[in-house]
Amino acid sequence: MTRRNWTIEEIEFLKENLGFMKIPTIANRLNRTESSVLVKMKRLGLSNTKSFTGLLTMNELAKLLKVDSKSVKLWIEHHGLKCSKKVTRSIKAFYFISAEDFWEWAYYNKDRMDFSKIERHTILPEPGWVEQERLYNRNTNYKTWTVNEVRIMMELVSSGRTLSDVGKKLDRSPLSIKRKYDRILKMKEIASNHEAF
């Protein structure tokens, strides 16, 4: 069997899809053997953490969600997104997140991301509720909540102001206020149940 040189297009395909496709799939698409792909990865100094661990790195998850990796790091460090930290193939440490842990966290933190930007079935298994959120975000010109907005919203709702009044104050729909308020109450309920154990 003759050895085939790698084309620029093949190398670009490898770089773009590494971590998002399994090695056998990449090899199949390029009409190459898995060992050929692995050798090329090693020569290029590439690592494929997702395929080797079944987990997503912080940067891979950020790319799929179309957010900055700093946002994902903030979710990990301050908002309870589960992860494990490991060193792979070098001294560099990576945060690893399982798809299941991400979706469980996302269910209670829906206001932290725009689901309409997440392409269908890129983080598998994708729960059924995600499609509804995707449509909701697409139809409401989604904007992320700031810490200050959450504080103001909680104060106003707690003082008895109507959802419409709070919405006008924060330039958000009453439905958006209700969804955010309900989520916060649910998160507080979960936190107090955990403390009870």
pLDDT by position in tens, the chain (length 197): 567 899 999 988 888 777 667 788 889 999 999 889 888 888 887 765 555 556 888 888 999 998 888 889 999 998 899 998 765 544 566 788 999 999 999 999 888 888 988 998 888 888 999 999 998 877 766 677 888 898 999 999 999 999 889 989 998 888 888 888 888 888 788 777 766 65
- Asked whether residue 135 is assigned to any structural domain, the reply reads yes
- Asked whether residue 182 is assigned to any structural domain, the reply reads yes
Helix (H, G, I), strand (E, B) or coil at 154: helix
Supply the pLDDT for residue 191.
Answer: 72
Supply the pLDDT for residue 49.
Answer: 54
Domain with 20, as residue range(s), is: 8-46
Q: Is residue 58 domain-shared with residue 130, that is, in the same domain?
A: yes
CA atoms within 13 A on the CB side of 33: 7
| Angle between helices 58-65 and 69-78 in degrees, nearest 10 | 120
- Asked whether residue 2 is assigned to any structural domain, the reply reads no
- Asked whether residue 37 is assigned to any structural domain, the reply reads yes
Helix (H, G, I), strand (E, B) or coil at 74: helix
- Asked whether residue 95 is assigned to any structural domain, the reply reads yes
Q: Is residue 39 domain-shared with residue 83, that is, in the same domain?
A: no
Which of 139, 157, 184 delimits the end of a domain?
Answer: 139
Q: Is residue 90 domain-shared with residue 112, that is, in the same domain?
A: yes
Which of 123, 139, 155 delimits the end of a domain?
Answer: 139
Q: Is residue 129 domain-shared with residue 176, that is, in the same domain?
A: no
Q: Kindly state the DSSP code that residue 16 receives in the 8-state scheme.
A: H
Indicate the number of domains in the chain: 3
Q: Is residue 74 domain-shared with residue 132, that is, in the same domain?
A: yes
Q: Is residue 56 domain-shared with residue 121, that is, in the same domain?
A: yes
What's the chain's length in residues? 197
Q: Is residue 76 domain-shared with residue 112, that is, in the same domain?
A: yes
Supply the pLDDT for residue 89.
Answer: 45
- Asked whether residue 3 is assigned to any structural domain, the reply reads no
Q: Is residue 13 domain-shared with residue 63, that is, in the same domain?
A: no
Q: Is residue 103 domain-shared with residue 175, that is, in the same domain?
A: no
Q: Is residue 57 domain-shared with residue 135, that is, in the same domain?
A: yes
CA atoms within 13 A on the CB side of 68: 3
Supply the pLDDT for residue 141.
Answer: 67
